Amino acid sequence: MLALVLEGERVRLATDRPPPKPRRGFVRVRTRIAGICDTDLELARGYMGFAGVLGHEFVGEALEGPLAGRRVVGGINFACGQCPNCAAGLGRHCPNRTVLGIDGADGVLAEEFVIPEGNLVAVPGTVADEEAVFTEPLAAACEILDQLGRRPDGAALVVGDGKLGTLIAQVLAAAGARVDLLGHHTESLDWLVERGIGLLPGQPDRAAYPLVVEASGSTSGLATAMAATAPRGTLVLKTTVGRSYDIDLAPLVIDEITLIGSRCGRFEPALELLTEGAVRVAPLVEACYRLTDAEQAFAHAGRPAARKVLVRGN
């Protein structure tokens, strides 16, 4: 079958990849559409040392199991189901987990893939494939609200105006926050102003925001985010890169800032926001390729300031 595979630092379209083998508790899914995200690009730069089929954002058709014939999205963490973390409902933090298209499990940029049956969630009929493919990153944005344990009602700053940053800004605004979005390419995001989101092309005021989310996708964004966080404010970290940070952390102690690492989230709130139209994703799509052109799609996604690039299954 066709599959976009990472071998060392080489990304290539394999035309003879063996179909995934059936596994107990897993179901086969045919890829309808998949997204390429910054994590995929980081993997190609050596992050996580991954090798195999790339991709973890998808809408597919379940080929077996209770959801056979339905459009589905699915969680990316393949937990063991037996450890203390799994027993506590924290399968995404299972120490024995593999991660779809990221760590030890082939991903979705292929004609077919396998995924645990319990990871799948049906897509509502009113949500198009091109919208539902954002469920995974949108769920990661919604996870911030779960971790805060409250609805933010003050000023919030999102550092980073890429795909994830724009989703986070919309989620926080929909929850009641007064959101500013900081980035280098805000001139293309005027549509966010209609949703009450302020666009900052330059440096924000120091210590001005009780809630700051760092989603810049680079190591340089953390210093900006720290400086903008008010004393006793909350700083949420979303960036994951394969490079180390060189930064003075003393301000976190001096200003008594609460630091939260934030990763994956529940899919149900994300699908609800898409169903209600509370979050717009169509303006984020820059291009859509066929799986046969997946190499070109990956190269496009790596261009500076590229928005979301999608790949349709054949």
pLDDT for position 241: 75
Tens-digit pLDDT profile for residues 293-311: 999 999 999 998 899 999 9
What is the phi-psi region of residue 232: left when phi exceeds 0, alpha when psi lies from -120 to 50, beta otherwise? Answer: left
- The whole-angstrom separation of Cα 218 and Cα 235 is 16
Indicate if the pLDDT at residue 9 is higher than 90. no
Q: Which of 8-12, 53-57, 176-180, 231-235 is least confident?
A: 8-12
What whole-number distance in Å separates Cα of residue 308 and Cα of residue 55?
13
Confidence tier at 16 by pLDDT (50, 70, 90)? very high
Structure confidence by residue, pLDDT tens digits, 239-257: 877 677 888 899 999 999 9
Choose between 122 and 186: higher pLDDT: 122
Q: What is the pLDDT of residues 169-201, one digit of tens each?
A: 999 999 999 999 998 888 889 999 998 999 998
Q: Which of 274, 277, 301, 310 is nearest to 138 (CA)?
A: 274
Q: What does the domain layout of the chain look like in residue ranges? A: 3-134+281-312, 140-261
**Residue 159: beta bridge partners?**
182, 214
The domain 140-261 having CATH identifier 3.40.50.720: the answer here is yes
pLDDT given for residue 29 in this prediction: 98
Identify the band that residue 312 occupies on the pLDDT scale cut at 50, 70 and 90. Answer: very high
Rounded to 5 degrees, what are φ and ψ at 141? -70, -40
pTM comes to: 0.94
- Answer whether 165's CB lies under 8 Å from 37's CB: no
pLDDT at 151: 83
**Right CATH number for 3-134+281-312 from 3.90.180.10, 3.40.50.10440, 3.40.50.1370, 3.30.2270.10?**
3.90.180.10
